Amino acid sequence: MTTLVSIENFIKKFSREVDENNAAIFAGAGLSVGAGFVNWSDLLREIADELNLDVDKEHDLVSLAQYHLNDRGANRDGLNRAIIDHFLNENTVTENHRILARLPIATYWTTNYDDLIERSLKDAGKIPDVKHAKEDLPRTIRNRDAVVYKMHGDAQHPNDAVIAKDDYQTYMQTRGPFVTALAGELVSKTFLFLGFSFSDPNLDHVLGRIRSEMGSCQRTHYCILRKEQKLDSDSPGDFEYRKIKQEHFINDLKCRYNIQTVLIDSYAQITDILTKIERVHKQRTIFVSGAADDYSPWAEADALDLCANISALIVKKGFRIVNGLGLGVGSAIVEGALREIYRNQRSKLTDQLQIRPFPQSDDAKKMWSRYREDMLDYAGVAVFVFGNKASENGLVLSNGMREEFDIAIAKGVTPLPLGFTGSMAEELWREVVNSFEKIIPKSLHGIKPDFVSLGDKTKSGQEHLKTLERILDSL
């Protein structure tokens, strides 16, 4: 029996690769089907009809495309039209694409002609550097966030797309640098293959080349495959035969290429798995919300020292901080984080601290809600301190902190209001205590005694820091 990677073990291991910026994605046609794009069989269905062939009976679709070229005297117009008709449309980006785009993944490889990967990256506020021809490889887009290698071309350039046997046989002459680049990436990064059948001869060539050069030292990669399903049209023994064949296929990936397989029952599980990977990654990022015009009953110096110590503790425990430089506390939060980062000297500044001050013009203030949502998109935990501001009617609770709390709850971000600091943080702490089992994830229900103690104003700042440290350790 083939040994498989459990879903839980895969999530743990691949999440670590994501956190360490070692992860890469290889997307096949299956990833785009959910957006309404066709698979290869449907792409070539009309072409097969013209050849008096049944596409559902054909397994070698590369040869099928070649038969069309042969029949047309090497004229590609029919293939080009099929690619344009099926892939040059604004189909909706899938949730899987959106999750992948939000993760800190800098390398995407695909055999797809569509633009879903680059569109999802743009939607996530990132700059993609798309490579669809060998001439693109030496060029670098300034400030790029991710590179998208379209090794079979792009729907906007259908005449150069790799689709027929001639294209594959001349691949090394027309697109050889892609093979070299992919080989280097497979040696240095951990790939997750999604929606890919491993029938592509170019990838097979690259994997074989790495195996011959690296031997038993190949890097571990992962793929997600759906278990063989029993079909109504199956004859006796068909389903069992496919199961045995899939086992041999999985074992071949593992033994020859060190590609570990995660088996799922349905394609919907891919979204669940990617969501959990994102949650694990986001859990390492803490959004710190705070604002104060008045620090009572704390002295101002003590309150600022507390804020600095809170952020220093967060960094010390290996978490990243996102902070919007809230009034009266933002500078202290940044100072504490910087102090710990520079003392540690093991982390880059940008790896553990993101400072995102709110724009202050009247027009920009209209976008503050969207801005808050964007910041909380990348956090798994939100810490709330103080939360008051001056108004014409005197000191009032911070409505901005209230909005950030509501956004956090809506996005599934774990809230940690430090009630002992008073003001809005105290009000939010009380809400969480009263609905603890509903608001706090089940896996963290054990922190309730410590969380409740965060509202005790009789304890010292140092005592509360020790409590917060225990909670962070639980996270």
For residue 317, the Cα-to-chain-centroid distance in whole angstroms is 23
Q: Rounded to an integer, what distance in angstroms lies between the CA atom of residue 18 and that of residue 100?
A: 10
Q: Which residues contact 244 (CB under 8 A, 6 or more apart)?
A: none
The closest of 60, 81, 62 to 70, measured between CA atoms, is 62
- How many CB atoms are located within 10 Å of the residue 410 CB? 10
The catalytic residue among 68, 97, 132, 152 is 152
Q: Which residues contact 324 (CB under 8 A, 6 or more apart)?
A: 289, 330, 356, 357, 358, 371, 372, 375
Going 301 to 307 to 311 to 313, the CA torsion angle's sign is positive
Helices (H), 285-434: 300-316, 330-344, 349-352, 362-365, 368-376, 399-410, 423-434
Pairing of strands 259-264, 221-226: parallel
Active site residue 152: yes
Strand segments (E) across 137-210: 146-150, 190-194
Q: Rounded to an integer, what distance in angstroms lies between the CA atom of residue 306 and that of residue 328?
A: 12
The closest of 60, 117, 113, 53 to 83, measured between CA atoms, is 113
Active site members: 152
